[in-house]
Amino acid sequence: MSASANRQIAVFERDRGLPSGEVAHAFRRWNATTRRPRGKADPFYERNDTALRSDDHHVRTLLEVALHALHRKARRELSTVVGPADERVLRRTLNNPFADPGLPWWTRRIGA
C-alpha cells in the first residue's frame, strides 16, 4: 500500500485510540481465517479492547470501519487488499437465512 494510505491508517488508529498496527493485525487475522480449514482460525479478537467502542469484536468489522474512514484512494487500496479474503469467505460459506439482516454480511455467513 502507498505511504499516503499507510499514513491515513495510522491517523485512523491514533484517532480511535487503537494500538499502532491494529488495522494490519486485523487484516492478517482476517486473511489467515479465510485460508485455514473451517474452525481452525477465529476471526474475533481474543481481547475486549479493540477500541471500536462496540460489542462487535470481529476483525472484519475493524477493517470495514477503517475503509469508511479513509479517503477515496486509500480506501480503494485497502479494499483491493481485503477483497480477495472477502471473496474466499463468500465462496466457502453460505448466507444464514435466519440471521438478522441488519448485521454485517460477514457475521451472517455460515460454514458450508
Q: pLDDT for 20-59, tens place per residue?
A: 999 999 999 898 888 766 555 555 555 444 444 445 578 8
pTM of the model: 0.81
Question: For the segment 87-97, what is each residue's pLDDT rounded down to a tens digit?
Answer: 999 998 899 99
Task: Work out the mean pLDDT of the chain and round it to a whole number.
Answer: 85
The counts of H helices and E strands in the chain are 4, 2
Domain hosting residue 63, numbered range: 3-111
Measure Cα distances from 35 to 32, 43, 73 in Å: 5, 12, 27
Count structural domains, the chain: 1
Q: Predicted confidence band at 3 (pLDDT cuts at 50, 70, 90)?
A: very high
Higher local confidence (pLDDT), 9 or 40: 9
Taking the C-alpha atoms of residue 73 and residue 85, their distance in angstroms, rounded to an integer, is 20
